[in-house]
């Protein structure tokens, strides 16, 4: 698998990573890029299923749900091409998709389909990825404060860090090592945000 720098956001329909501006505000959260969003719903469904199956095709070990999904679509008559694809995966052959002769993947870069989460240390992240983490910490802490009227305590922060790691893996396909550098980064940012919020509240009183 060619190493690609993953920036921007993942579109669950075409399976591509695209720049922020390729997503609408709403498409961002839904993980659907503008060009995919413009497709008819039926086509969207079809591409999304195919994208999911393509991920499963490269996955090992597969979960029970993965196998069930493969079996389901191998017997599906609605989408003949998906059926063929699922059958190929089930037969143990990793389907070789030629981007040129399969219009499902027109314009899509097969190398960009995330397969395994990539293991990384915090120190190996680029600035954009670090910024995403920072953003996440910020919005969670602000939201908690708005919701509960309190600052996060130690336990909340431990939970938040766990959540951050799993969300990051889901969103960026990077499995982040929970090492001392990450701890430090997390602690410094969280403390900073909490203090700033506290000060803002005091100033407004």
Residue range at the interface with Zn ion (CB under 5 A); choices 3-11, 82-90, 115-123, 128-136: 3-11
Residue selected from 27, 33, 82, 89 as contacting Zn ion according to rule CB under 5 A = 33
Per-residue binding letters, 5-24, with Zn ion (x by CB under 5 A): ------x-xx----------
| Phi-psi map region of 15: left, alpha, beta (phi>0 left; psi -120 to 50 alpha) | left
Pairwise CA distance, residues 167 & 173, whole Å = 9
Provide the minimum distance between the beta carbon of 7 and Zn ion in the complex, in angstroms, as a whole number: 15
C-beta closer to Zn ion: residue 6 or 177: 6
# of chain residues touching Zn ion (CB under 5 A): 5
Provide the minimum distance between the beta carbon of 113 and Zn ion in the complex, in angstroms, as a whole number: 12
Provide the minimum distance between the beta carbon of 10 and Zn ion in the complex, in angstroms, as a whole number: 9
Provide the minimum distance between the beta carbon of 134 and Zn ion in the complex, in angstroms, as a whole number: 26
Pairwise CA distance, residues 150 & 181, whole Å = 27
C-beta closer to Zn ion: residue 41 or 77: 41
* Distances in whole angstroms, Cα of residue 112 to Cα of each of 18, 116, 146, 186, 188: 10, 12, 38, 29, 33
C-beta closer to Zn ion: residue 13 or 125: 13
Please tell me whether residue 36 binds Zn ion under the rule CB under 5 A.
yes
Cis peptide bond upstream of 61, omega within 30? yes
Q: Which helix (H) or strand (E) holds 192?
A: helix 180-204
C-beta closer to Zn ion: residue 33 or 125: 33
Cβ partners under 8 Å of residue 185, min gap 6: 122, 130, 133
* Distances in whole angstroms, Cα of residue 140 to Cα of each of 63, 134, 168, 175: 30, 10, 14, 20
Tell me which residues touch Zn ion (CB under 5 A): 11, 13-14, 33, 36
């Amino acid at each position: 698998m060619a190493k690609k720098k993953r920036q921007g956001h993942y579109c669950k329909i075409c399976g591509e990573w695209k720049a922020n501006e390729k997503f609408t505000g709403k498409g961002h959260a839904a993980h659907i890029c503008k060009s995919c969003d413009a497709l008819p719903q039926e086509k969207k469904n079809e591409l999304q299923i195919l994208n999911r199956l393509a991920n499963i095709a490269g996955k090992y070990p597969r979960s029970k749900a993965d196998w069930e999904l493969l079996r389901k679509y191998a017997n599906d008559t609605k989408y003949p091409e998906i059926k063929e694809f699922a059958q190929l995966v089930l037969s143990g052959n990793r389907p070789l998709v030629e981007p040129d002769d399969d219009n499902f993947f027109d314009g899509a870069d097969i190398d960009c389909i995330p397969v395994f989460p990539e293991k990384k240390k915090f120190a190996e992240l680029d600035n954009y990825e670090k910024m995403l983490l920072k953003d996440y910490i910020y919005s969670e802490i602000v939201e908690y404060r708005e919701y509960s009227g309190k600052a996060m305590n130690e336990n909340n922060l431990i939970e938040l860090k766990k959540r951050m790691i799993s969300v990051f893996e889901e969103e960026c396909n990077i499995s982040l090592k929970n090492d001392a550098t990450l701890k430090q980064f997390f602690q410094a940012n969280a403390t900073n945000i909490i203090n700033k919020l506290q000060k803002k509240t005091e100033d407004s009183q």
